[in-house]
Copies of this chain bind each other. A is one copy, B any other.
Amino acid sequence: MKKLKMGMVGGGIGAFIGEVHRKAARMDGGVEIAAGAFSRDGAKSLEQGRLLGIEPSRSYRSYGEMIRGELALPAGERIDFVSICTPNDSHHAIAKACMEAGFHVMCEKPVTMDSSEAEDLAAVAKKTKRVFGLMHTYTGYPMVKLARDMVAAGDLGGIRKVVVQYPQGWLYKKEGPDNKQAAWRTDPKRSGRAGCMGDIGVHAANLAEFTTGLKIKEVLADLTTFVKGRRLDDDGNVLFHMEKGAKGVLTASQISPGEENDLHIWVYGEKKAFAWYQENPNYLRVFDQEAPEQVWKRGNGYVAAKSPSAARCTRTPTGHPEAFIEAVANHYRNFCDTIRAFAEKRRPTALELDFPGIADGVRGMKFIEAVCDSSERGGVWTKV
């Protein structure tokens, strides 16, 4: 397995998601963190690079500098891809520049500020033939892949109903000035048109589409800003219609005290149903009206038989739980194997290609826009 060299934009000292990306990328031994523009402050970027054991010359002050610096290196030494862990407002420019400079891109979500930016990135990715990965973490969990594969195999019958909840509590009060995570997430200039819906509602929608294989066609939303003085929604309830007559309801919240990251999805088909819960992610509950509930457990042979994709994303035996960082690592692994496949001039397999990309990004932005439109118009059905 060729070790790929990664450059990171963002993820400076004190950032949350950048370090998660690094841990996940490193875990399986296929990625070396070789460069970074961790901060706009050159000294801080250098310090972060030093902590990571990066050569000082490859800790840059900006992504543009990083692109130039890396391109100046011999082909075999320069980074293979860029991991973008900055706030939303800069994703488009960075991703575009990186791809045009020849680098593949793994990007945090939401992918951009709006759908036109996302579509532009899709065009750039296509034109430059670069691999674009989008970190919709939750589809990296093996049991989510199993759920998708069960539905695709027809085990549930035609899908009728989806219920997805994503409550968090961390913004239940007005964030203080020192809450760096909250600051940009509640600033429309940096986060985009939606707050809670952009930060986590889009994950919930992505999960609904991923597991059912059905697209959300239209939404009707009721978004609210509960905390006074906040500029973006911090809570929302959404009705939705999917392809093939499936219907659903999605609720996301960041003002639900004591909820941590309680993403929960239930999918009901004509024959069976499943439920999955992110905070205890190694289990998939399968319901049947005529038989006992089944609890499918990660790492078993019967899981592998139903879902090679879940089996591939399994590191430890049953009962030795895997969790969030491993889910992120699964996306990195498939993303990297796809890059390797191209490097080897071969077509990536379906298993390798099993990671979210720019198409998910475009869908996500359109979902956000439709949800905001619907809510602003007082709650009317709005096409995605």
Q: How many copies does the complex hold?
A: 4
Residues of chain B lying within 8 A (CB to CB) of residue A53: 1, 3, 29
Q: Does A42 contact B (CB under 8 A)?
A: no
- CB-CB under 8 A from A322, the residues of chain B are 323-325
Chain B residue with minimal CB distance to A237?
B249
Q: Which of A267-310 contact B (CB under 8 A)?
A: 268-273, 278-282, 286-297, 299-302
Which of B20, B23, B255, B266 interacts with A167 by CB under 8 Å?
Answer: B266
A and B contact pairs by CB, cutoff 8 A, 21 listed: A3-B53, A26-B27, A26-B28, A160-B226, A160-B235, A161-B235, A222-B239, A222-B241, A235-B247, A249-B251, A256-B287, A257-B288, A258-B272, A258-B273, A261-B319, A290-B301, A290-B302, A295-B295, A320-B324, A322-B324, A379-B380
> What is the size, in residues, of chain A's interface with B at 8 Å between Cβ atoms?
90
In the complex, are the beta carbons of A258 and B287 less than 8 A apart? yes
Binds B, one of A109-117, A119-127, A168-176: A168-176
Q: A161 and B27 in contact (CB under 8 A), knowing A169-B287, A261-B320?
A: no
Interface 0/1 of A347-384, CB less than 8 Å to B: 00000000000000000000000000000001111000
Cβ A302 vs Cβ B292 within 8 A:
yes
A154–B127 Cα gap in the complex (Å)?
59
Chain A 74-104 residues near chain B, CB threshold 8 A: none
A156 to B169, CA, bound (A): 13
Decide: A319 and B168 in contact? CB cutoff 8 A: yes
- A280: B residues at CB distance < 8 A: 280, 321
**B160 and A258 contacting across the interface, CB-CB below 8 Å:** no
Inter-chain contact A319/B23, CB cutoff 8 Å: no
Q: Is the CB of A170 within 8 A of B289?
A: yes
Question: Within 8 Å of chain B (Cβ to Cβ): is A177?
Answer: no
Q: Closest CB-CB distance, A55 to chain B, in whole Å?
A: 13
Is the CB of A33 closer than 8 A to any CB of chain B?
Answer: yes
In the complex, A163 has a CB within 8 A of chain B? yes
Instruction: Please name all residues of chain B whose beta carbon is closer than 8 Å to the beta carbon of A249 when the two chains form the complex.
Output: 237, 249, 251
Within 8 A of B (CB), among A159-204: 160-161, 163, 165, 167-170, 172-173
Residues from chain B with a CB closer than 8 A to the CB of A239 are 220, 222, 237, 239, 379
Residue among A33, A172, A269, A282 with the highest chain B CB neighbour number at 10 A = A172
Q: Could you tell me if B261 and A318 are in contact, using CB atoms closer than 8 angstroms?
A: yes
A259 to chain B, nearest CB (A): 6
Say yes or no for A19: interface residue by CB 8 A criterion.
Answer: yes
CB pair A294–B297 under 8 Å, yes or no, is no
Whole-angstrom distance between the alpha carbons of A253 and B220 in the complex?
19
Which residue of chain B has its CB nearest to the CB of A326? Answer: B325
